[in-house]
Amino acid sequence: MTRPLWQIAAIRIVVFGLIAALAQMALVVADYYFNDEELGRLLIEQQVDQLGEGQLTDGSTTHYALPDEMADLFAPGRGYFARVRTLDGTILFSSCDAACEDHFLPPTVQPPDFWVRFIQPGKPLHVAGGGTVERGGRVLLVEFATVGDSEGLIWGVFWHEVLDHLVVPMSLLLVFAVGGAIVSIIAALRPVEAAAQAADNLDPLALGDGLPTGTMPQEISRLTGAVNRAFKRSGDLIRGQRMLTSAIAHEVRTPLAIIKLELSGIDSPRARKAEADVDELSEFVTQLTALARLEAISERQYLATDLAQLCEDVVGSIAPWVLTRGDTIAFEKDGEPMAMIVPSLIRDACRNLIENAVRHSPPGTAITVRVGSGPVISIIDSKPDSAASKRASDSLGIGLAIVERVLTLHGARLVQQSSATGMVASIHFSTEGST
């Protein structure tokens, strides 16, 4: 099952975005891991901020309580030390004794806003530092030191940097990139979808301007142009074949007329049979000519026509021929539906359907032409005996091809239904423009 283009593009953007994010993450981790000075500074900043959250103010008195998540960090022997004091030297919290003297600033020294000192180079980190933290208008000096980093606090530094400088920006980038790609692709493919819908109704013989290409992307527009040119060549080929067929049919009509004239002077049953064959062939040639001429129909020839009056005229003109074949024909109507049609073409289509019903049914068949229940024309044949053999016919089916082509030009459709007593052929016209 094929996927829409926007889904394919979105999946690929996300996949390559994740690959780029992983690569960027590896670069960030590598950059910080091998930069001990920056890593130590970031670790001190992170721990100072966390320790500073324990400041409590009660009126003019400042208290301090170690945050719960750090309660186990400064247990004896773990290698982590912390001290929190006011600027005047009052110690609010201390997790060390002699180590504080070794790693932190003396209480009498005026502290800077931030400081870092490496106790020992290399990894694991041996670093001390501190900084001032202001909470509720009170300033505290928070100091932190690690000797060996047994709990791997540097990984928290890595995660913080990745989150701040990679995950959040990359997530926003992916959201806007995927969203922008989807919107752009859908907008670019909207004229392609319209062209696909137009292609379903495209007639190679009435191509016009072909498929629209105005707002398509250049590559698809070139493909659509190639399709239009292919349709044009197909239409030219079909028209050429129709013109050749029409020319041949026109040239054959005169010899056929001469042959029939000569046969009329011969008094023989075989001559009569030959005359009937010539008549069938002449009718076939006439239908070929009519099929070729259908392509010359223009919009000006479509008229709002009363279907009931048209069919009544057809029944009146063809009735003598039907009666000579041993059948009967009747006309029925339910209202006077109107339709935009080329009257001569629909008249010929109805005649073809009536002739087809007569030729393919036994003698005594009752033909009914019914108009009504909307813009619908129905030709119904009711056989006198459903078991009777069908009348032989030399028709090559060209009449039905003409009917289908005529209906296509009118946007109508032919529905054929058979039953035990006969056949119903109905022409259903579009309700647009019909009353």
Which stretches within 71-209 are classed as H helix?
98-103, 153-162, 168-200
Q: How far apart are CA 271 and CA 266, in angstroms?
A: 6
Report CA 328 to chain centroid distance, whole Å: 54
What share of the chain in percent tops pLDDT 70?
88
Q: How far apart are CA 225 and CA 231, in angstroms?
A: 10
DSSP code for 141: E
Instruction: State the pLDDT at residue 385.
Output: 63
Q: Which of 93-107, 190-204, 327-341 has the lowest mean pLDDT?
A: 190-204
CATH topology of domain 218-294: Helix Hairpins (1.10.287)
Q: Closest by alpha carbon to 104, among 71, 81, 120, 133?
A: 81
Tokens standing for 64? 């301090």
Is residue 224 left, alpha or beta, with left meaning phi > 0 and alpha meaning psi from -120 to 50?
Answer: alpha
Instruction: State the pLDDT at residue 376.
Output: 92
CATH of the domain spanning 35-151: 3.30.450.140
Q: Which of 20-29, 95-104, 209-218 has the lowest mean pLDDT?
A: 209-218
Instruction: State the pLDDT at residue 396.
Output: 43
pLDDT tens, residue by residue, 13-50 = 888 888 888 888 888 778 778 888 888 899 999 999 98
Ranked by mean pLDDT, the top range of 14-18, 201-205, 242-246 is 14-18
Instruction: State the pLDDT at residue 13.
Output: 83
In sequence order, the 6+-apart residues with CB closer than 8 A to the CB of 404 are 414
- Tell me the average pLDDT of the chain: 81
pLDDT tens, residue by residue, 133-165 = 887 678 889 999 998 888 888 888 888 877 877
Please list the residues that pair with 331 across neighbouring strands. Answer: 369
Q: What global pTM score does this model have?
A: 0.45
Longest dimension (CA), the chain: 147
State the CATH class of domain 298-428: alpha beta
Q: How far apart are CA 307 and CA 297, in angstroms?
A: 20
Q: How far apart are CA 414 and CA 350, in angstroms?
A: 11
Ranked by mean pLDDT, the top range of 94-108, 196-210, 404-418 is 404-418
Confidence of residue 319 (pLDDT cuts 50, 70, 90): very high
Report CA 306 to chain centroid distance, whole Å: 42
Q: Work out the average pLDDT over 319-336.
A: 90
Instruction: State the pLDDT at residue 29.
Output: 79
Instruction: State the pLDDT at residue 296.
Output: 62
Instruction: State the pLDDT at residue 127.
Output: 92
Q: Are 246 and 288 in contact (CB under 8 A)?
A: yes
Q: How far apart are CA 394 and CA 392, in angstroms?
A: 7
Confidence of residue 202 (pLDDT cuts 50, 70, 90): low
pLDDT above 80: residue 237: no
In sequence order, the 6+-apart residues with CB closer than 8 A to the CB of 367 are 322, 327, 328, 329, 330, 354, 357, 358, 379, 380, 381
Instruction: State the pLDDT at residue 369.
Output: 93
**What is the SS3 assignment for 104?**
coil
Rounded (5°) CA angle 397-400-403: 155
Q: Are 85 and 141 in contact (CB under 8 A)?
A: yes
- The residue extents of the domains of the chain are 35-151, 218-294, 298-428
Please count the other Cβ atoms lying within 10 Å of the Cβ belonging to residue 85.
21
What share of the chain in percent tops pLDDT 90?
13
Q: Which residue has the higher pLDDT, 246 or 199?
A: 199
Please count the other Cβ atoms lying within 10 Å of the Cβ belonging to residue 162.
18
What is the b/e burial string over 374-403, where b = at least 16 CB atoms within 10 angstroms of the residue's CB? ebbbbbbbbbeeeeeeeeeeebeebbbebb
Q: Are 330 and 424 in contact (CB under 8 A)?
A: no
Is residue 392 left, alpha or beta, with left meaning phi > 0 and alpha meaning psi from -120 to 50?
Answer: beta
pLDDT tens, residue by residue, 339-390 = 888 888 888 889 888 988 888 888 888 999 999 888 999 999 888 764 444 4
Q: Which of 39-48, 213-222, 305-314, 379-388 has the lowest mean pLDDT?
A: 379-388
